[in-house]
Amino acid sequence: MTERVIATDAALELINTLKEKHGPLMFHQSGGCCDGSSPMCYPKGDLMVGDQDVLMGVIGDSEFYMHKSQFDYWSHTQLIIDVVPGRGGMFSLEGAEGKRFLTRSRVFTAEETEELQNQ
């Protein structure tokens, strides 16, 4: 099954570390305001999800959301959540770890696009 969002092993490792410290987590792809356009990690329930947010999928047992306007723009791509050294967004939990989540992407194949449309 084609997934709209996946995570690298490094990202999953960091998610597990953060879950040990903070409990259940959630993600929201930032739209570019204060913290640029990066995946933001919060304790589950700390960010109010609205009716304009799209559930993209689950990574590391954590729901991953994106605003509908961004989804409309990125719907043809798979999001790949990775980790790189450095400070992340000031509101995202991983900042204290000296790492930050990063969104990479790839364009879906025609077959994957068709599969997603049929889901």
Express each pLDDT in 41-89 by its tens digit.
999 999 999 999 999 999 999 999 999 999 998 899 999 999 999 876 6
pTM here is 0.91
Are the C-beta atoms of 99 and 85 separated by less than 8 Å? yes
Helices (H) and strands (E) in the chain, counts: 3, 7
Per mean pLDDT, which range of 8-12, 23-27, 53-57, 98-102 is the poorest? 98-102
Q: What is the mean pLDDT of the chain?
A: 91
